[in-house]
Amino acid sequence: MDSNMFSVALDSNTEGTFTFRNEGHTLGNALRYFLIKNKDVEFVGYSVPHPAEPLMNIRVQTHTANPLSTLENSLYNLDEYCDLLLTKLEALD
C-alpha cells in the first residue's frame, strides 16, 4: 500500500488506528463490516473527522491477533467480494 495513502498507529499488539487518505464512508463502512465478521476482532469503529477533510480513521481491537494483519486480511476479503460481485454483474449482460 502507498504510504502516502495510509498510515498506522499501533497502540499495542492487539490495538491500532489506521488512517486512509482520500477515503470516506464508502470504504469505512464496508471495511468495518468485513472486520467485524472476524471472530478475533473485539471492536472496530471508523470515523470521517470532517467532510471537507479527506480522511477516514478506523480503529481495530482484537483479542489476540495483530491488528495490521487483521486489517490486511479484511481488505483482501473485501477485494475478493468486490471481484465476485463484479463478475456476477457482468454475467447479467
User: Per residue in 19-41, pLDDT tens?
Assistant: 999 999 999 999 999 999 999 99
Write b or e for each residue in 59-85: b if 16 or more Cβ atoms lie within 10 A of its Cβ, otherwise e.
bbbbeebbbeebbebbbebbeeeeeee
Residue 78 above 90 pLDDT?
A: yes
Q: What is the pTM of this model?
A: 0.89
- Say which CATH topology domain 6-91 has: Gyrase A; domain 2 (3.30.1360)
Percent of the chain with pLDDT over 90: 90
Confidence of residue 93 (pLDDT cuts 50, 70, 90): confident
Residue 79 above 90 pLDDT?
A: yes
Q: Name the residue with cell 481488505.
A: 75
